Amino acid sequence: MVKVTLDNVSKFFGKVRAVTDLNLEVGDGEFVALLGPSGCGKTTTLLMIAGIYRPSRGRILFDNEDVTGLPPKDRNVGMVFQSYALYPHMTVYDNIAFPLKLKKVPKQEIDRKVRKVAKLLRIDNLLARRPGQLSGGQQQRVALGRALAKEPDVLLLDEPLSNLDAKLRILMRAELKRLQKELRVTTVYVTHDQVEAMSMADRIAVMNAGKLQQYADPQGLYNKPANLFVAGFIGSPPMNFVEGSIREDLSGGYYFDAGAFKFKLPKELGELISSKSIDVVMGFRPEHVKLSLNREEYSIEGQVYVVEPLGRDIVVNVKVGDMLFKVVTKPGVELRPGQRIWLVLDVDKIHFFDKFNERAIV
């Protein structure tokens, strides 16, 4: 097991900047997710760690040893591709044994390792088949087996669950996490699915447009998003945003003016924000709002627009001016479209971002 360090790594394809000045440290045995929308450079980053792409600038270190110029075969990494990339002309057994054969492991040793890994992944009854005769979930496990059998220093996973159906995905999520903890192998996991990243990873690196947005543990990302992008990307349904400005009233109190509504702020909060910026974006999560039929302190008045029942929760869309806010609440209260309602915000869980540089203020 090793510690992986990306030191100011950039990758350009012609004029396209796929990854820019990325600094990242993955601890020994840690499970890190690279999270971001498609085309954000996360797979490129993974391929650089694997050694398939050579960084245009910067260094990649395994345990403080520079591996930037090393070809993939000398890095001892295992990788599961989004497409699985199983060798179609080989049986499952040969697929898993292939990296071991290349390492010149003795035949009996190969056999023992292949069977062990196959048993671990519950594919020991499929060893004689070819990939074309397997289901998606089975292929995925074979791909994982091939990556694990060589006992890699670093395990790289590129959206390994995205081709599975929803039920199997949830099952494999837990399996993968258990396996990673059991084997204690340093793992980098690429995904665009925030639920996958949140549920599996020790730490998450959120990327957008080739740049690292925030690198923190799941709770940190959820509670303290560093900027507007992270705030909007983490959480489902996503955070509600509203642009406005901070103003002082005659009595010295502060309020947030969004045009369609004014929202009174606690004095310390108002002072803190206005000392940094006047033009801000306010954000609050749908689950941090209480609905009330009467005006309360720290509330916004609106109208019920539409109600989406989800079984365990309901999502209420509330119209304020010409803005729509989503609110997650428990079912039970009868709500009619057009009904007048107040959104009571939890003041401690409101986020403010600078409108211009999009960084978090509070």
Partner 1 sequence: MARARGSLRRRLLRAKLAAVIKYLVVVVVAVVPLFPIWSMIAWLLIQSFSGRVILGLIPSSLTINNWRFLWSPIKMGLKEYPNIWPITFNTLLLALGVSGLVVLVSTMSGYALSRMEFRGRTALMEFIIALHAFPSVILLIALFVILNKLGLYGKGYMTLLGIVLIKAGLEIPMASWIIKGFFDSIPWDLEWAALVDGCSRWRAWRSVIVPLVLPGIGAISIFSFLAGWSEFLLVFTYVKDEAYYTLPVLIYHMIGEFKFIDWGMLAALGLFFTIPTLIFFSTSQKLLLRIYVGGVKR
Out of 18, 24, 48, 77, which residue is the one contacting partner 1 (CB under 8 A)? Answer: 77
What are the backbone angles phi and psi of residue 337, rounded to the nearest 5°? -55, 140
Q: 48 or 307, CB closer to partner 1?
A: 48
Among the residue ranges 24-32, 94-102, 222-230, 305-313, the one whose residues contact partner 1 (CB under 8 A): 94-102
Per-residue interface string for the shown chain with partner 1, residues 163-202, x marking contact by CB under 8 A: x---------------------------------------
Minimum CB–partner distance for residue 352 and partner 1 (Å): 43
Rule CB under 8 A: say whether 89 interacts with partner 1: yes
Minimum CB–partner distance for residue 302 and partner 1 (Å): 45
Q: Tokens 């206005």 appear where?
A: 274
> What SS3 state is found at 128?
coil
Q: How are strands ordered across the β-sheet holding 57-62? A: 16-26, 4-13, 57-62, 65-66
Out of 78, 218, 286, 302, which residue is the one contacting partner 1 (CB under 8 A)? Answer: 78
Q: How are strands ordered across the β-sheet holding 289-292? A: 289-292, 340-345, 299-309, 314-320, 323-329
61, two tokens: 């270190």
Rule CB under 8 A: say whether 88 interacts with partner 1: yes
Minimum CB–partner distance for residue 169 and partner 1 (Å): 14
Q: 46 or 242, CB closer to partner 1?
A: 46
What are the backbone angles phi and psi of residue 256, rounded to the nearest 5°? -100, 120
Write out the residues near partner 1 by the rule CB under 8 A.
47, 50-52, 71-73, 77-79, 81-89, 98-99, 102-103, 130-134, 136, 139, 146, 150, 156, 163
